A and B are shown apart, each in its own frame.
Chain A
Amino acid sequence: DTAVSQTPKYLVTQMGNDKSIKCEQNLGHDTMYWYKQDSKKFLKIMFSYNNKELIINETVPNRFSPKSPDKAHLNLHINSLELGDSAVYFCASRESTTASPLHFGNGTRLTVT
């Protein structure tokens, strides 16, 4: 009965590779997000989607491309990985009502060597 699930949990790869992280939610929420948590634990929003439409696209490199095939899924593809991309990436979802909280996945720890 997992609410927000992301795969993989760990991702170790070399510089220059392309990788994807998948996220699915079964809560019936309209809005999904990607957050990046750096080594100092700071959480920064990257993208948000509402009903498959891109709403927020923060200043992240073009190498990061989100894709939402339907409102229950939001995947993150990263091209030409760099050392600085190493972080924990969290997927989250919420209802589109403004008072609703975020429901987080367990995170994907990406390590670029």
Chain B
Amino acid sequence: AQSVTQLDSHVSVSEGTPVLLRCNYSSSYSPSLFWYVQHPNKGLQLLLKYTSAATLVKGINGFEAEFKKSETSFHLTKPSAHMSDAAEYFCVVSDRSGQAGTALIFGKGTTLSVSS
């Protein structure tokens, strides 16, 4: 069974400083991993995905994440935060067992606050 743990429920940064949102996963199979962002009162938008190609994955809006199998981690980073990055971020794991309709399991989310 797969699971995902987001290590911080809330992260606060200043505009222009780096962002690090931490995620650890557990999966019985080789996983696919995703990061989604949800702005207040909005739907969920895919930031990036890892699917066994390059371990360093680049996403939208300057975000990237690195898959580290030895650490079972998939942390999300951005070199310089913008005010518009303030949102809820979800790390998501999907096992690649091949069964159609497999659940994608969400972490509990990390709230990113950006101050000026």
Contacts and interface: CB of A to CB of B under 8 A. Distances in A.
Nearest to A96: B100
A11 to B, nearest CB: 15
B73 interface: no
Contacts of A42: 106, 108-109
A30 interface: yes
B32 A30 contact: no
Nearest to A49: B101
Interface residues of A, number: 29
Interface stretch (A16-24, A59-67, A78-86, A104-112): A104-112
Nearest to B51: A99
B102 A98 contact: yes
B97 interface: yes
B56 interface: no
A25 interface: no
B47 to A, nearest CB: 10
Contacts of A56: 101, 103
Contacts of A103: 46
B64 interface: no
Interface centre among B51, B94, B95, B104 (most CB of A within 10 A): B104
Contacts of A35: 106
**Secondary structure of the A contact surface, majority rule:** strand
A101 interface: yes
A53 B42 CA distance: 29
A45 B103 CA distance: 7
A107 B43 contact: yes
Given A41-B88, A43-B106, A101 B34 contact: yes
Given A55-B102, A104-B45, 16 more contacts: A40-B108, A41-B109, A43-B44, A43-B109, A44-B106, A45-B103, A48-B102, A51-B100, A53-B101, A90-B44, A99-B52, A101-B34, A101-B49, A102-B44, A102-B46, A104-B44
A-B pairs, 6 with minimum CB distance:
A55-B101, A99-B51, A50-B101, A96-B100, A50-B100, A98-B96
